[in-house]
Amino acid sequence: MHGTLGVEMMLQVYHSSFVDVEDITKACGCPLLPLKSHIKGPAPVSEQDSTDIVDEAITFFRANVFFRNFDIKSSADKLLIYLTFYINLALKRLEGCRTLAEGTKAIINLGLENVPVPGEHGFPFPGLFSQPQSEEEAELFRNYLKQIREETSGRLLSVAYRSNGTPNKWWLAFAKRKFMNVITP
């Protein structure tokens, strides 16, 4: 048999399972989904044995980071996109950190940075979320993003570093990816 065998692989983006979020509070068109977190903030508390949006974002990250386009099927997908971007940003900050202690310091510093909301300079996805209709809505969304970023950072450290405190190259290698052609600062 001459020629090449052509196998076309259909790649599909992973979507959030949180599709029925009608009764959840929203800010800027984003559902404020429950989190398994002890971090103070506006997010409702989720059961510790259930999957939350942070679990989904970390689980799907290594597949979703390859996509330049993301078909949004629910408002929770918007949050998944934001968290995929944030994980990519956090991994870039962890890239040069050779120990868990260095990585923890880098993540804490990332958490201290200003968190822009839609309509403000530095928000990574203009048009993905609606602009806040009031200062109260802007602060609610900013506080939710701060809380979810902090929760994501803590969980990300546990996969980006092994139990002995050394970097996990299978995670940190993804720092080189550029998600949806968005340039991270």
DSSP letters along 35-75, please? BS--S-SSSPBPPTTS--HHHHHHHHHHHHTT-S-----SH
pLDDT in tens, 97-114: 999 999 999 999 898 889
**Predicted TM-score (pTM) of this structure:** 0.85
Q: What is the mean pLDDT of residues 32-45?
A: 91
DSSP label of 27 = E
Q: What is the mean pLDDT of residues 26-31?
A: 92
Which tokens go with 32?
Answer: 């404020």
Instruction: Identify the CATH number of the domain defined by range 34-178.
Output: 1.10.1760.10
Cα separation, 13 vs 17, whole angstroms: 13
* pLDDT surpasses 80 at 50: yes
Q: Tell me, what's the pLDDT at 61?
A: 85
Q: Tell me, what's the pLDDT at 10?
A: 40
DSSP label of 128 = T
> What is the SS3 assignment for 142?
helix
Total number of residues shown for the chain: 185
Pick from 1-5, 30-34, 120-124, 158-162: least confident: 1-5
Q: Tell me, what's the pLDDT at 103?
A: 96
Which tokens go with 159?
Answer: 């996969």
Q: Find residue 31's DSSP bridge partners.
A: 26
Where in the chain are the domains? 34-178
Query: How close are the terminal C-alpha atoms of the chain, in Å?
Result: 51
For residues 174 and 96, which has the higher predicted lDDT (pLDDT)?
Answer: 96
Q: Tell me, what's the pLDDT at 58?
A: 92
Q: Tell me, what's the pLDDT at 112?
A: 83
